[in-house]
Copies of this chain bind each other. A is one copy, B any other.
């Protein structure tokens, strides 16, 4: 946990340059590096003359609570969610750049542990991917902005718009676990006033390590993105806002209907449909395609529009929109 009350050296004590010097050796290296950190910009390889790029920000308050996430968790999650977006194009993640804005009271050791989280996530989820540049700023609000790059290895990118009637709809990764973990945290890892609480968090995390872990340290099936592309996936996206909302996006972009099979959605189909932050992959494959990696069938693409479950329209929203739902608290 971040203990900003300790006597540890803070980012205010160190200059930006000193802090960066301590962070950079802990960051993972990218095998795509031509020029790494330390100049005005990095230079990376793009072997097939193209590169995939995505950016995502994590903000203290709406996106994480310091009573629940360690600094290493933050680095892990910031890496994992961006790696998942790269994978969802069918690309292999090659590199990240990371901008961090931190309160001046934050110990430099917290930044080091954020770096450790990036290293651990890249090593486990996308070996060879590393951090090639960054920026460190002061802010009242701890903020991590990550931009991730990927290599399509000569393949066409897999968009949301290519699903065709008859395709099999498949998912890789757990459905609903991250949302169930978040629900547990808000229900049981808070004090009587509803404020995130470290002691109660420890008990919840010990009792439900898988659900809490799915929320705080998601393990997106990054390798399954390129595998799906190789297998001929017609459409794919990262499941960030809940299966229902994300499946509707594929249906809309592709001009088709997606019909999900409730029995394929586990013991709690409603949470599987409406929970956010799964960071699994939803992909569509031509009928008869042997499903690659961890993909399992969950439905069928049909003529029409919108989302169906067992043939009936499903209109519940699901997902997490910080603008609509953030209560303004940090914790």
Contacts and interface: CB of A to CB of B under 8 A. Distances in A.
A135 B56 contact: yes
A116 B89 CA distance: 29
A3 interface: no
Contact of A50 (B46, B57, B58, B88): B46
Interface string A105-135: 0000000000000000000000000001111
A49 interface: yes
A1 interface: no
A202 interface: no
A71 interface: no
How many chain copies? 2
Give the size category of A's interface with B.
Answer: 35 or more
A45 B55 contact: no
Chain B CB count within 10 A is highest, among A136, A141, A160, for: A141
Nearest to A99: B57
Nearest to A41: B54
Contacts of A12: 323-324
A39 B97 contact: no
Interface stretch (A149-157, A171-179, A292-300): A149-157
A326 interface: yes
Contacts of A314: none
Contact of A139 (B16, B62, B134): B62
A51 B326 CA distance: 37
Contacts of A145: 55, 57, 99, 135, 143, 145
12 contacts: A12-B323, A17-B321, A38-B160, A39-B237, A40-B54, A41-B150, A49-B49, A53-B132, A57-B143, A63-B137, A99-B145, A138-B326
Given A12-B323, A51-B51, 7 more contacts: A34-B157, A39-B89, A40-B88, A43-B52, A53-B147, A59-B139, A62-B139
